[in-house]
A and B are shown apart, each in its own frame.
Chain A
Amino acid sequence: MATVRLSFSPAPVHVRTARLVGVAVARRAGVADELLDEVRLAIGEACTRAVALHNQYGLRDPVEVEMRDDDPYTVRVIDRAPIEASIGLAALPPDELANESLTDEALTTGVGFALLAGFVEDLQVRPVEEGAGTEVRMIWPTRR
């Protein structure tokens, strides 16, 4: 068992790096090949959400990603935004998606959460244990 930790400045350009590392560790952990696209997308969405929150609140703290090369494969993405920011995470119904009054930010947030919920069987969004922030924890089975 090994833990890989990644800490990056909250900039969009680094989200791709987090996806690539997340998939590499998933492969090493023994996650089935057919799940790797979903792992890549879900880690990307969780990191995108964290980067957006840090930018929204003007936070320069790094976004943290922890990947446990274990059974099951566990990924934690941690932001440092005020906890109330994570309230309201909800998928949007189809008739609201193209609604003129829906802002781009609200649409992206709703769609992002739908993807997380749709691609991660075991998903938890909860406050971090110390200080401000939220942890998105995602778990995938391995073939071990």
Chain B
Amino acid sequence: MELSLATRAVAGHTVLEVGGEVDVYTAPRLRQLLLEVHESGARHVVVDLGRVDFLDSTGLGVLVGALKRLRAAGGTFRLVCSREPLLKIFRITALDQVFPLYDSVESAIAADPDAASAQ
């Protein structure tokens, strides 16, 4: 399935909904959108991977890059991921110890109650 990307604002957060396949061919589009979100001044970002059916090392590298940029800027970067195949990818790469992972957008935002007033 082709990559799909959409952003929306929720309670002071920029929520990026990702769907389809994130791989070596499509990951540059995700990287570009994350850069645009960062350059727009958003500092609390939630990436919802709920409709992603394939994620490879290139896609994971893009997500780590976004995490590092936001951390350096004093922001937050959270991932929504509840499907077991994707969770296994995070466990095997030890990236589950790097990313804050949540099972819904609501729980990701609720984990950062101050952000709603910060933006």
Q: Give me the interface of A with B, judged by CB distance under 8 Å.
A: 12-13, 15-16, 19, 37, 40-41, 44-45, 48, 51-52, 91-94, 97-98, 100, 104, 107-109, 111-112, 114-115, 118-119
Contacts and interface: CB of A to CB of B under 8 A. Distances in A.
Interface of B: 21, 23-25, 54, 56-58, 60-61, 64-65, 67-68, 71-72, 85, 89, 92-95, 97-98
Contacts of A40: 54
B94 A93 contact: yes
Nearest to A114: B93
Nearest to B97: A94
Given A48-B56, A97-B64, A111-B57, A16 B94 contact: no
Contacts of B85: 37
Given A93-B94, A115-B89, A104 B61 contact: yes
B94 A94 contact: yes
Contact of A44 (B56, B60, B92, B98): B56
A104 B61 CA distance: 6
Contacts of B94: 91-94, 97, 114
Given A12-B25, A100-B68, A107-B64, 9 more contacts: A15-B23, A16-B25, A44-B54, A45-B57, A48-B58, A97-B95, A98-B68, A114-B94, A115-B57
B57 A48 contact: yes
B4 to A, nearest CB: 15
A11 B98 CA distance: 30
A112 B92 contact: no
A51 to B, nearest CB: 7
Contacts of B89: 41, 115
A13 B64 CA distance: 22
A98 B96 CA distance: 12
A111 B54 contact: no
Contacts of A119: 92
B98 A97 contact: yes
Contacts of B21: 16
Nearest to A13: B25
A108 B63 CA distance: 11
Contact of B23 (A16, A100, A115): A16
A134 B21 CA distance: 27
A98 B25 contact: no
Across the A-B interface, the 9 shortest Cβ-Cβ residue pairs: A118-B92, A112-B57, A108-B61, A94-B94, A12-B25, A111-B57, A94-B97, A12-B24, A48-B24
